[in-house]
Amino acid sequence: MAGSGQVITYRELEEESNRLAHLFRAAGLRPGDHIAFMLANHPLFLAIAWAAHRSGLYYTPISSRLQTDELAYIVDNCGARVFISSADLAEPATSITAATPGVELRLMLDGVAAGFESYEEAVAKQPVTPIDDECTGADMLYSSGTTGRPKGVKWPSAHPPLTDPGTLFKLIGALFAPAEDSVYLSPAPLYHAAPLRYCLTFQRFGATVVVMERFEPERYLELVERYGVTHSQLVPTMFIKLLKLPPETRTKYDISSLRYAIHAAAPCPVPVKEQMIEWWGPIIHEYYAGTEGNGFLYVGPQDWLEHRGTVGRSLLGVVHICDEDGNDLPRGEHGTIYFENGGRFEYHGDPDKTRSVQDPRGRGWTTLGDIGYLDADGFLYLTDRRSYMIISGGVNIYPQEAENVLSVHPKVADVAVFGVPDEEMGEQVKAVVEPMSMAEAGPALEAELIAYCRERLAHYKCPKSVDFRAELPRHPTGKLYKRLLRDEYWPPAG
């Protein structure tokens, strides 16, 4: 643990996860059953995940930032029979008891609260050896709720033996060459898909995993130096925060041990990635995938420099770019991205949502809802989310373009671009900016940012106006809650 320095050895990880697996069996849970847990980046987070995984269970880690009704919905919706939390989250954890009657066992770490048993006392009674019927489980993660109620992404599980590590293990092994002497630094919340899955996978290789309780840019550089970090996974907002450190801070730490800096989760502005490669060297690797696991694209640093802006070529699933009727579009044309022969999944308890991401011609292809195009060499470029597209005067505008430009302005800490009502054009382009200093927020900076964007993009793609906020509603994984911003502007217009 990066903050406390607490170490969990592999022996302790093995014994802790075995004890909890025995407790699951003693509570009557069998392969295919479900647990949920709400923790910050706790020292036992990964042990709990491993206990469920080696018991053949579905497990749902939940954000510790959710409100009571959101938390209750997920715990109830996923069908959790066991719910685990910690004393620092006792208030939200206990608030959902009445609303989650399906939970049979509630465990609390680091203390107890009403309705919860002591986790430590419960597992201490259990054996440290593996359960007799070990088999592989699976995570069932919920979308972060940027639009509507979150949905659980459920993969079919035949409960294969633990000796079969699965597709992700093979991909990571082939692309990033982890080994027992590797050190993987995880700066993001572990309840999110990529941090959770990559930490578990690097542990399968015997690597050391260093977990940050929260991301702080200078602290991140210090940890790379201190632990000789070889691998890490970040999101573009972390790159931006690192680049905006003072030059003397950026050069203060020895980060030469870092061999693979992996990024995903959100589009990375081309200038940001160019500056990161200039600083860190050609060690920056990118992939495009979703929690759904229906496809996986990858691009290494050299291919990216030759195809700037791409998110890669497919390693899992055939990519199709389709129009609204599901017809394949030629190379270079923008359309909805579908995957053929990718991983199978469903949205738990929501067949309508599951059908909504399948191609309209019934070929079994699925989409994450993104728009993009393929170049002549088969590299994919993301345009934006379909749900974020702005239609102004009948013209399609993808706000990601303006966000990419404004995000690298030296006075911008964060930015969101979206459509707001316009009586004449239907929608107009609006930017909401978190400035580096709120003291600079005002008409002069608004004019400067609009002019800056117009120098680099067609004018119709640029914001007509800019509002300023002290902080944007961004998920710790880097995902922007754009819906929350848009909703402020639309109700007044009916």
* CATH number of 450's domain: 3.30.300.30
Does a structural domain hold residue 168? no
Q: Are residues 57 and 120 in the same domain?
A: yes
The pLDDT value recorded for residue 34 is 98
Average pLDDT on 416-420 reads 92
Cα distance between residue 17 and residue 145, in whole Å: 30
The pLDDT value recorded for residue 480 is 77
With 60 as the cut, is the pLDDT of residue 223 above it?
yes
494: confidence class by pLDDT, cuts 50, 70, 90: low
Please tell me whether residue 422 adopts helix, strand or coil conformation: strand
Q: CB neighbours of 93 closer than 8 A, spacing ≥ 6?
A: 38, 83, 85, 86, 106, 108, 113, 116
Average pLDDT on 227-251 reads 94
The structural domain count of the chain equals 3
The pLDDT value recorded for residue 69 is 87
With 50 as the cut, is the pLDDT of residue 250 above it?
yes
Cα distance between residue 59 and residue 44, in whole Å: 15
Domain span at 301: 175-385
pLDDT digits (tens, 9 = 90+) for 125-176: 999 999 999 999 999 999 754 445 788 999 887 788 999 888 999 999 999 9
Does a structural domain hold residue 218? yes
Does a structural domain hold residue 371? yes
Average pLDDT on 168-188 reads 96
Residue 202's nearest CA partner among 2, 50, 379, 416 is: 50
Q: Are residues 138 and 193 in the same domain?
A: no
Taken in order 165, 170, 171, 175, the sign of the CA dihedral is positive
The pLDDT value recorded for residue 145 is 46
Q: CB neighbours of 142 closer than 8 A, spacing ≥ 6?
A: 60, 62, 74, 78, 150, 151, 152, 153
Q: Are residues 242 and 310 in the same domain?
A: yes
For residues 276, 279, 281, 287, the Cα torsion angle rounded to the nearest 10 degrees is -10
Q: Are residues 343 and 230 in the same domain?
A: yes
**What is the pTM (predicted TM-score) of this model?**
0.84
Average pLDDT on 314-335 reads 94
Q: Are residues 361 and 452 in the same domain?
A: no
391: confidence class by pLDDT, cuts 50, 70, 90: confident
The pLDDT value recorded for residue 35 is 98
Q: Are residues 15 and 151 in the same domain?
A: yes
Mean pLDDT of the residues in the chain:
92
Q: Are residues 376 and 428 in the same domain?
A: no
Average pLDDT on 249-266 reads 94
450: confidence class by pLDDT, cuts 50, 70, 90: very high
369 conformational bin, left if phi > 0, alpha if psi -120 to 50, beta if neither = left
Cα distance between residue 46 and residue 348, in whole Å: 24
The pLDDT value recorded for residue 156 is 84
Cα distance between residue 247 and residue 253, in whole Å: 11
Q: Are residues 430 and 479 in the same domain?
A: yes
* Contact status, residue 241 vs residue 218, Cβ threshold 8 Å: no
The pLDDT value recorded for residue 383 is 81
With 60 as the cut, is the pLDDT of residue 342 above it?
yes
Q: Are residues 147 and 189 in the same domain?
A: no
25: confidence class by pLDDT, cuts 50, 70, 90: very high
Q: Are residues 360 and 410 in the same domain?
A: no
